[in-house]
Amino acid sequence: MKTQYLTPQRQKQAVEILRRGGLVGIPTETVYGLGANGLDPEAVKAIFIAKGRPQDNPLILHIPSPDWLSRYCKDVPDAAYTLAERFWPGPLTMILKRGPMVPDVVTAGMDTVGMRCPKHTLCRKVIGALDLPVAAPSGNTSGRPSPTTAQAMLEDMDGRIEAILDGGPCAVGVESTIIDLTVTPPRLLRPGGVTLEELETVLERVEVDAAVRRLMAPGEKPKAPGMKYRHYAPKAPVTVVKGRPERTAEYIRERLGKTSGVICFDEYGDHFPGHAVETLGSAADQAAQARHIFEALRSFDHLDVTDIWAQSPADTGLGLAVTNRLNKAAGFHIIDLS
Ligand code: AMP
Ligand code: MG
């Protein structure tokens, strides 16, 4: 299959492909998604094949506005509409009771479904014109870092999907926050573009799922099936070093081998001469760190790097999402100097 590269002007073609059951790479504000008509089981099955995604890992449905929730979900609680009012369109996915219209393959047979209303203008135009919910996981091959540009998605999906619509680099850079509203108190299953602190301004109490901060033990089941898989990993093994940036930079510098690579804050970009270095943004700029984390992880696959050392951001605010992705990429191999 030859994958067509579509500029924003050719968005109509993306809509046509989706309507007849094809797969299209679509930009969102979080990461690029691998989209299909979410009501067409055959089209959705093709997503799993293109990504090599395990069948038990459900997909998120993308809709243009909160009033579509009642079409695809049952017993929608008031909290869902309150959260939608505050954070939609935006990087928040809500887990709700699934309605009868949603195909089994979308939810991996579960009785709940993930719903999100994205903010990216071009993405909204496509979903609006299609007038159907779009099922879309991140556009990477299963296990790889998520793509935040059309070029990164093509690295994984060229020849496997009909087209990719280029909407420029993603503004957020990490996937959506996932909150489960079918349990009491609501539970944060995946940290993302909407922070825990922001959710707590709307919801009285939020429980954080154990899989967010640590590796699941064998046999232990996280509530978001996707959180159990090795994820976001570059080819070379990653070690994360936690603590004050001056200390972690020094610690890493002392341990680098000839072919080690480094992920660090901008302030330390010149601390590691002779090594492959990817900077995330300033130590104080969490939004920049979120935008750059996946490109940083991906970039080492093009270099002869045998091991990667990373300075860890703090895990507050957007930092909870960035550290979650980094720690997962490292298989939770973390050295704590704090
Ligand atoms: P991705 O779009 O690649 O970020 O993957 C979607 C994430 O949402 C995965 O981690 C899924 O396990 C999770 N997810 C989707 N639907 C549900 C659901 N109904 N319940 C719990 N987690 C879900
Ligand atoms: Mg993903």
* Residue 217: closest CA among 207, 228, 226: 228
pLDDT at 55: 92
Q: Separation of 138 CA from ligand 2 center, angstroms?
A: 4
Which ligand neighbours the alpha carbon of 118 most closely? 1
Q: Is residue 222 situated within a structural domain?
A: no
| Residue 318 DSSP SS3 | coil
Q: Separation of 108 CA from ligand 1 center, angstroms?
A: 10
Q: What is the pTM of this model?
A: 0.96
Closest atom of ligand 1 to CA, residue 110: 19
Q: Is residue 307 exposed (0-12), middle (13-18) or buried (19+ Cβ within 10 Å)?
A: middle
The per-type count for the chain, helices as H runs and strands as E runs, is: 11, 17
Sign of the CA dihedral running 256, 260, 264, 270 = positive
Tell me, yes or no, whether 23 and 155 share the same domain: yes
Domain range holding 95?
Answer: 4-212
Question: Which of 28, 31, 51, 189 is the pocket-test mutation for ligand 1 (most atoms within 8 Å of CB)?
Answer: 189
DSSP letters, 164-187, are EE---S-SS-SPPEEEE-SSSS-E
The count of domains in the chain is 2
225 in contact with ligand 1, CB cutoff 6 A = yes
Tell me, yes or no, whether 159 and 278 share the same domain: no
Distance of CA 300 to the CA centre of its chain: 19
Cβ atoms of 325 and 138 within 8 Å: the answer is no
Cβ atoms of 160 and 182 within 8 Å: the answer is no
Which ligand neighbours the alpha carbon of 224 most closely? 1
Q: Separation of 146 CA from ligand 2 center, angstroms?
A: 6
Tell me, yes or no, whether 129 and 256 share the same domain: no
Tell me, yes or no, whether 57 and 192 share the same domain: yes
| Residue 125 DSSP SS3 | helix
Tell me, yes or no, whether 131 and 265 share the same domain: no
Identity of residue 58 = P
Tell me, yes or no, whether 192 and 90 share the same domain: yes
125 in contact with ligand 1, CB cutoff 6 A = no
Tens-level pLDDT at each residue, the chain (338 residues): 899 999 999 999 999 999 999 999 999 999 999 999 999 999 999 999 999 999 999 999 999 999 999 999 999 999 999 999 999 999 999 999 999 999 999 999 999 999 999 999 999 999 999 999 999 999 999 999 999 999 999 999 999 999 999 999 999 999 999 999 999 999 999 999 999 999 999 999 999 999 999 888 888 888 888 777 778 888 999 999 999 999 999 999 999 999 999 999 999 999 999 999 999 999 999 999 999 999 999 999 999 999 999 999 999 999 999 999 999 999 999 999 99
CATH of the domain at 280: 3.40.50.11030
Q: Could you count the other beta carbons within 10 Å of the beta carbon of residue 245?
A: 18
